[in-house]
Amino acid sequence: MAENEQRHWWFTGRRQILATLLRRELSRGRAPAPMRILEAGCGSGGNLGMLGAFGTVEAVEYDPGARAIAERRSGLVIRPCALPHDLPVPDRSYDLIALLDVLEHVEEDRASLAALGAKLKRDGRILVTVPALPWLWSHHDAVHHHKRRYTARSLTDAVAAAGLRVERVGYFNTLLFPLALARRVGSIVTGRPTEDDRVPARWMNALLRTIFSAERHLVGRVRMALGLSLFALVSLPD
């Protein structure tokens, strides 16, 4: 996964989408940079460069192997962390916290959101992404140790239960949704799991990245009814 994060269409396309979303959202009534940024659960560090375009980045990560790779790639000190009760960063300190496909791995999702909310500045935001639609649960989720998939409603409810407020929530990875659905139905029929993690042939990887990343023009602007993923921009209550 650490190797794929540099080349796989899903990782590279998602970074383009999220960077565009952040540029658009953070420019509304405030300067987009520099900010103090925390990535909670940075994995092997594939998003740190993208986040660094918006300010000074810090990161925490649970897995020691991923943490070592992230430190080597980024040159940052990545602190160990276990949400929700071991979050070794100061309260009320961050303009932006990125929680990118992490919440579904955590047993206590609401407590984890509340813990991260305590680290925000008064006008700070949390950017959350999670896998969407519980009925799409597959071998991929089990292999990656997911606890759950979300709907827009269940994610909004989790945020509210944490004492936070959803500013914006929506589905993405929508253009490729029919293809993904067909593959997962085929997997159920044949009993053979799909291999979503393998980098496809170069031409196919480039094509899928182009289609997926095209959603950067839509996400946060056009309300999409379905998608393989969800995003939410979260803030402290008024």
pLDDT tens digits along 35-52: 999 999 999 999 999 999
Residue 198's pLDDT band (cuts 50, 70, 90): confident
User: Rounded to whole angstroms, how far apart are CA atoms 5 and 44?
Assistant: 8
pLDDT value at residue 235: 97
pLDDT value at residue 180: 84
pLDDT in tens, 102-146: 999 999 999 999 999 999 999 999 999 999 999 988 888 888 899
Mean pLDDT, range 144-168, rounded to an integer = 97
Q: Mark out the alpha helices in the chain (DSSP H runs).
A: 9-26, 48-52, 64-74, 109-117, 139-143, 152-161, 177-190, 202-213
pLDDT in tens, 76-99: 999 999 999 999 999 999 999 999
